[in-house]
Amino acid sequence: MRFRFLKPLVISAFFCGLTMGNNAHAGRTLGDWGDIAMFLANGWAIGMTMTENDWDGTAQYLESMLGAQLTTEIIKTRIVHEERPNGLNNESFPSGHATGAFSAPMFIHKRYGWKQSLIPYGLAIFTGFTRVHTRMHYTHDVLAGAAVSALFTWMFVSPVDTNVHVWPSFSSDSAGVRASVQF
């Protein structure tokens, strides 16, 4: 129980190895490190589900992450057509990298609690930073990608403890959070 973080770390290292190829540090750019951070965050999420023997969680993660990615791709290639800051193409909004990177910590946060999601949030924020810094996206593209992830996490992921429920609450004149606990 003391080394519960090891399995997510090993899985993350595996995903990282897939992205790095033979030359781990040769010619890496800041954008490359952002890509690696995105894969590490996703490896962390899969590792968490394996650590907990949580196959329902694995399915929920894949549903939320793949749904968010598919939605992001449809928006950016079929609906919005915003030009990237570097002029490369018209697929800037929303950021697919941000969607992928933020899917992991949002899943972990909702499923297992905020403490377990701190490292993946750091990785996702770094990924978002690199996408803006390398002029692949505007800040609003990254925020929109994170929002798409949040929406799909909210729709498909449930906390492990089914006796505790937290959900957003909106009315015409207020917004808030509701919670219930079953004993």
Examine the pLDDT at 161 and tell me if it is beyond 90.
no
Per-residue model confidence (pLDDT) at position 26: 55
Q: Buried b / exposed e across 58-79, counting CB within 10 Å, b at 16+?
A: bebbbbbbebbbebbeebbeee
Place 6 in a pLDDT band, splitting at 50, 70 and 90: low
Per-residue model confidence (pLDDT) at position 22: 46
How large is the average pLDDT for residues 84-92?
A: 95
The span from the CA of 110 to the CA of 158, in Å, is 7
Examine the pLDDT at 131 and tell me if it is beyond 50.
yes
- Distance from CA of residue 183 to its chain's centroid? 32
pLDDT digits (tens, 9 = 90+) for 24-74: 555 678 889 999 999 999 999 998 898 888 999 999 999 999 999 999 999
The CATH fold of domain 6-181: Vanadium-containing Chloroperoxidase; domain 1 (1.20.144)
What does the domain layout of the chain look like in residue ranges?
A: 6-181
Examine the pLDDT at 144 and tell me if it is beyond 70.
yes
- Check if the beta carbon of residue 120 is closer than 8 Å to that of residue 15: no
Per-residue model confidence (pLDDT) at position 37: 93
Q: Which two tokens stand for residue 158?
A: 């449930």
The span from the CA of 109 to the CA of 132, in Å, is 24
